[in-house]
Amino acid sequence: MVISKEFAIDLGNNNTLIFDSESILFSESTCIVVTELDQTTFAIGDKALDMFEKTPQRIKAVKPLKGG
């Protein structure tokens, strides 16, 4: 027996949404914080947005989507 689950991802300029046919599973800001040295992910979503323009030089906050 095969059980499958369908879902959709909406990568918006301001928010990223992941939802299935019944509900929203994930809704957070489209933002990511990475380290400058090795591009390791430091924070994503709302936590990253809280750090936007407040990060030290060794880490960088980025809003990867611009202009739709």
From first CA to last CA, the distance across the chain in angstroms is 40
Distance (Å, whole) CA 15 – CA 28: 5
One-character DSSP codes across 9-52: EEE-SSEEEEEESS-EEEEEES-EEEETTT--EEEEHHHHHHHT
Q: Does the pTM of the predicted model rise above 0.85? A: no
| pLDDT for res 18 | 93
Percent residues over pLDDT 70 in the chain? 94
pLDDT digit string (tens) for 14-26?
A: 899 999 988 999 9
